[in-house]
Amino acid sequence: MKKDAPQYVVSSIVALGGLLFGYDIGIMSSIQEMEHFNEYYGYPNALTIGIIVSSLTIGCFVGSLLSAPLADRYSRKLTILIGAMVCTTGSAITYASVNRAMLIAGRFVNGVSIGFLSSVVPMYQSETSPPANRGRMVSLQQWAITWGIFIAFGIDYGCSYIPGERQFRLPLGLQIVPSIVLLCAMAFMPFSPRWLVAHDHIGDARQVLGRLRAYGHASAPEVAEELRLIHQTIKHERENKSSSYWELFRFPNRRRTLLGCGMQFMQQFTGINTLMLYAPTIFRDIGFSSVQSVALFQAINGLVNVSSTVPAIL
């Protein structure tokens, strides 16, 4: 087994959180065009569809605010476990929804879980990876998001041929599968070495680093060196701890804050989420009449998205 294999395994497993995020983004896009969905929910108008779709984003906002204090106090691992449990609950609600309010509630609960996972999974990946491979490990999260979108589009296409309520309930319910897999797998994942050091569990951190970096040899020199660097970084952060969020907008942090927020804003401002969420409506408006043809083109769109992410990982 290669020396870096454990970190790839750990980062790939927690990247299921990204897959769940992508699945939630993509699943409603074609469902909102399905005849049986519209018939069951009373042919919702554009405003209602917008509320159903955006309830996920509102939940994400709430979940992202809650994730940081939970991750700092109870660990990154347990926060991901909570996110997986909340996602399973939200998926069950959407699958069993009998009216619009229940569907919106389920989407909101799913959003809360995605807020947890999208914030904490990259943090966990970066803290369990060595500096040399950290960027690649974190990029697995984004690739998993694109895979989740593509899988959702493909499932929508396949289910578009199914008659009755199963046409839309099956895609909504299948999200339970990866969330349960993530929930079970996280029970066997290590705690973040950085979190362990921050909470004075030095011996446990040394054991985790040994398993991740040196075939289980906690006394290896590279383990001792990384442990020293983690401890040094945490000590520096505690000595220079900011008193409020306003410190982010003061020198010398202001430029970093603006760069980070600016990149995130411009990525969203390209309109990619609108395309992912409402592409079937766009395809229908330009002349594709059947649900199957719309779902097929959406699946192709998702495949292009997956392929275009590969260069970022390499």
Residue 265 tokens read as 């804003």
- 204-219 pLDDT per residue, tens: 999 999 999 888 888 8
Residue 151's CB is within 10 A of a number of other CB atoms, namely: 22
Task: Answer yes or no: are the C-beta atoms of 103 and 49 closer than 8 Å.
Answer: no
Which of 228-232, 246-250, 282-286 tops mean pLDDT?
228-232
Please tell me the distance from the alpha carbon of residue 212 to that of residue 72, in angstroms, as a whole number: 21
- 237-266 pLDDT per residue, tens: 887 776 567 888 888 888 989 998 898 888
Looking at residue 242, what is its pLDDT? Answer: 63
Instruction: Write down the pTM of the prediction.
Output: 0.89
Please tell me the distance from the alpha carbon of residue 299 to that of residue 297, in angstroms, as a whole number: 5
- 9-59 pLDDT per residue, tens: 999 999 999 999 999 988 888 898 888 999 999 999 989 999 999 999 999
Task: Answer yes or no: are the C-beta atoms of 140 and 10 closer than 8 Å.
Answer: no
Say which amino acid occupies 72. Answer: D
